[in-house]
């Protein structure tokens, strides 16, 4: 074999090796692509099937934790339709709808597979009461008016505001309840009523007839500390509205 023939044979063999490598590389690429595409497609098909089939359709809803609200009221607010797929149901949206009910403090919604939904409600607890338009409106610890009652419990703090609640007076009622929460525990336990004609003129009446003039809700921690010291003195009025010059009278 001549030198030229040997050279040609080497070139042919090299080309053949390159072609085999390309084919091998292409096969490997397709195998890898299939290993990714097939499971993803399978999951997508399975997800579509689960989301649109009756396999996990909603058949019943359980309402837990209510005493003031009725299950019917909660279900109406939740606005979920029987037959809706539990897979597709937006639990967060259901929670937000139920939380619009004033007596609801918190709510948690979870699925009970394969066909149920549980709405677990935590209702607001009364800490105060405000008389408004001839009605007694219950307030929670944050001052949210959440229910009207005919005969409010005697142990609740009476809150007096100058505007209707719910309505324009609710912001002042919330400020009053926030002040109540800032009081030293021993003083808070003795409060019978809070007068809040404005957010800047809040005063508290104790069960023994003494009065605490608080002023605005500002500087609450400082006012509480000053009041704790002042109440070691015998007086009828404790004025901490300006805590740097707090005074007692009577």
Q: What is the pLDDT of residue 32?
A: 62
pLDDT at 50 over 60: no
User: Any idea what DSSP says for residue 85?
Assistant: B
pLDDT digits (tens, 9 = 90+) for 170-190: 999 999 999 999 998 999 999
Gyration radius (Cα) of the chain, Å: 35
> Residue 76 corresponds to which tokens in the numbers above?
């109406």
* 14 burial via Cβ count (<10 Å: 0-12, 13-18, 19+): exposed
Question: Rounded distance, CA 210 to CA 112, Å?
Answer: 55
Check residue 200 and give its pLDDT: 95
pTM above 0.85, yes or no: no
**Whole-number Å distance between alpha carbons of 181 and 220:** 10
What number of other Cβ atoms are within 10 A of residue 140's Cβ? 20
Residue whose C-alpha is closest to residue 243's, from 221, 216, 223:
223
User: What is the pLDDT at residue 45?
Assistant: 43
H-helix or E-strand spanning residue 94: helix 91-98
Neighbour count for residue 161 (Cβ, 10 Å):
26
Tell which residue, 231, 171, 229, has the closest CA to residue 202. Answer: 171
Residue 182: predicted pLDDT: 92
Q: Give pLDDT tens digits for 67-101.
A: 999 999 999 999 999 999 999 999 999 999 999 99
- Band the pLDDT of 244: cuts 50, 70, 90: very high
Q: What percent of the chain has pLDDT over 70?
A: 79
Mean pLDDT, rounded, for 3-9: 49
pLDDT score at 17:
60
């Amino acid at each position: 074999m001549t030198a030229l023939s040997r050279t040609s044979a080497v070139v042919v063999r090299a080309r053949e090796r390159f072609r085999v490598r390309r084919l091998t590389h292409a096969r490997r690429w397709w195998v890898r692509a299939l290993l990714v595409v097939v499971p993803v497609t399978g999951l997508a098909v399975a997800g579509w099937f689960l989301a649109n089939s009756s396999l996990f359709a909603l058949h019943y809803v359980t309402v837990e934790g209510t005493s003031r609200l009725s299950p019917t009221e909660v279900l109406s607010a939740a606005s979920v339709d029987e037959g809706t797929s539990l897979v597709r149901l937006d639990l967060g949206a259901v929670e937000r709808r139920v939380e619009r009910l004033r007596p609801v403090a918190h709510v948690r919604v979870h699925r009970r597979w394969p066909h149920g939904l549980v709405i677990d409600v935590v209702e607001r607890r009364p800490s105060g009461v405000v008389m408004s338009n001839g009605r007694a409106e219950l307030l929670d610890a944050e001052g949210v008016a959440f229910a009207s009652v005919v005969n409010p419990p005697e142990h609740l703090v009476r809150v007096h505001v100058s505007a209707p609640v719910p309505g324009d007076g609710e912001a002042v009622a919330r400020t009053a309840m926030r002040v109540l929460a800032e009081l030293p525990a021993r003083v808070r336990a003795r409060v019978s009523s809070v007068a809040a004609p404005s957010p800047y003129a809040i005063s508290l009446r104790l069960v023994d007839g003494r009065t605490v003039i608080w002023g605005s809700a500002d500087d609450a921690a400082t006012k509480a500390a000053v009041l704790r010291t002042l109440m070691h003195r015998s007086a009828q009025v404790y004025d901490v509205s300006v805590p740097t010059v707090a005074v007692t009278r009577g």
